[in-house]
Copies of this chain bind each other. A is one copy, B any other.
Amino acid sequence: MAVYTDVTDEALADFLGEYDIGALIAFRGIAEGVENSNFSLRTDAGDFILTLYERRVEARDLPWFLGLMQHLAARGLSCPQPLRGRDGAALRRLAGRPAAITSFLPGVWPRRVRTEHCRALGETLARLHIAGLDYAPIRRNALGPDSWTALLDRCRTHADLVQPGLLAELDAALARILPAWPGDDLPRGQIHADLFPDNVFFLDRAVSGVIDFYFACTDLLAYDIAICLNAWCFEGRTFNKAHAALMIRGYESIRPFCAAERAALPVLAGGAAIRFLLTRLYDWVNRSPGALVTPKDPRDYLHRLRFHLLAEDARAYGL
- Chain A 100-120 interface 0/1 with B at a Cβ cutoff of 8 Å (1 = within): 000011111011101000000
The residues of B that contact A3 with a CB separation of less than 8 Å are 1, 31
Q: A203: CB under 8 A from chain B?
A: yes
Within 8 A of B (CB), among A106-154: 106-108, 110-112, 114
The residues of B that contact A290 with a CB separation of less than 8 Å are 294
The residues of B that contact A294 with a CB separation of less than 8 Å are 290-292
Q: Can you name the residue of chain B whose Cβ is closest to the Cβ of A201? A: B26
Copies in the complex: 2
Across the interface, A29 reaches (CB within 8 A) one of B7, B8, B31, B110, namely B31
**Which residue among A10, A31, A40 has the maximum number of chain B CB atoms within 10 Å of its CB?**
A31
Give Cα A43–Cα B2 distance, bound, in whole angstroms: 24
Taking a contact as CB atoms under 8 Å apart, the answer to whether B8 and A42 are in contact is no
Min C-beta distance of A182 to chain B, whole Å: 36
Q: A25: CB under 8 A from chain B?
A: yes
Residues of A within 8 A of B (CB): 1-3, 6-10, 12, 24-32, 40, 42, 104-108, 110-112, 114, 201-203, 290-292, 294
Q: Can you name the residue of chain B whose Cβ is closest to the Cβ of A7? A: B111
Across the interface, A40 reaches (CB within 8 A) one of B2, B25, B28, namely B28
The residues of B that contact A12 with a CB separation of less than 8 Å are 108
> Can you list 14 residue pairs at the A/B interface with Cβ under 8 Å?
A1-B3, A1-B292, A2-B31, A10-B112, A10-B114, A24-B203, A25-B106, A26-B105, A28-B31, A29-B30, A30-B31, A40-B40, A42-B106, A291-B294
Min C-beta distance of A284 to chain B, whole Å: 11
The residues of B that contact A112 with a CB separation of less than 8 Å are 8-10
The residues of B that contact A201 with a CB separation of less than 8 Å are 26
Give Cα A29–Cα B108 distance, bound, in whole angstroms: 11
Give Cα A157–Cα B31 distance, bound, in whole angstroms: 34
Question: Apart from A26-B106, A26-B108, what are 5 other A-B pairs with CB-CB below 8 Å?
Answer: A1-B2, A7-B111, A9-B108, A26-B107, A42-B106
Give Cα A203–Cα B43 distance, bound, in whole angstroms: 11
Taking a contact as CB atoms under 8 Å apart, the answer to whether B111 and A8 are in contact is yes
The residues of B that contact A107 with a CB separation of less than 8 Å are 25-26
Give Cα A2–Cα B42 distance, bound, in whole angstroms: 21
Min C-beta distance of A47 to chain B, whole Å: 8
